[in-house]
Amino acid sequence: RKEVEQDPGPFNVPEGATVAFNCTYSNSASQSFFWYRQDCRKEPKLLMSVYSSGNEDGRFTAQLNRASQYISLLIRDSKLSDSATYLCVVNVLGDKIIFGKGTRLHILP
């Protein structure tokens, strides 16, 4: 099993829809969890950290389920500008950060 796995997509959803991404990780001792966003031919940028209690930032909600070893990202009322690749990132143990392969999202007008 890969250390961090994501559905590669692409997800094609109409503007205004709600879209959800899941990510699973293999190491139960993983410490920190993040979602990054990467636009085409650009560097990744932090979208949000994921906390044990779940957290929300505007239209974005992140959840962590340690028992099942997955994290999720929910985007409500999706905008055209949300089109990007979303990367699940896990601090597996200690000093190494592992990126998932990313899920491509296309918001359709």
Partner 1 sequence: NAGVTQTPKFQVLKTGQSMTLQCAQDMNHEYMSWYRQDPGMGLRLIHYSVGAGITDQGEVPNGYNVSRSTTEDFPLRLLSAAPSQTSVYFCASSQPGGPNYEQYFGPGTRLTVT
Residue 42 binds partner 1 (CB under 8 A): yes
Would you give the end-to-end CA distance of the chain in angstroms? 37
The answer to whether residue 58 forms part of the interface with partner 1 (CB under 8 A) is no
- Does the footprint of partner 1 cover residue 106 (CB under 8 A)? no
Q: Based on the shown chain and the rule CB under 8 A, indicate whether residue 102 belongs to the binding site for partner 1.
A: yes
Lookup result for tokens 């959803």: 13
Q: What CA–CA distance (Å, rounded) separates 98 from 13? A: 28
Q: Which is nearer to partner 1, 14 or 51 (CB)?
A: 51
- The CA distance from 103 to 109, in Å, is 19
Task: Find the angle CA(4)-CA(88)-CA(92) to the nearest 5 degrees.
Answer: 50
Work out whether 44 is an interface residue with partner 1 (CB under 8 A). Answer: yes
Among 8, 10, 14, 16, binds partner 1 (CB under 8 A): 8
Pairing of strands 103-108, 11-14: parallel
Residue 66-95 contact track with partner 1, rule CB under 8 A, x = bound: ---------------------x-x-x--xx
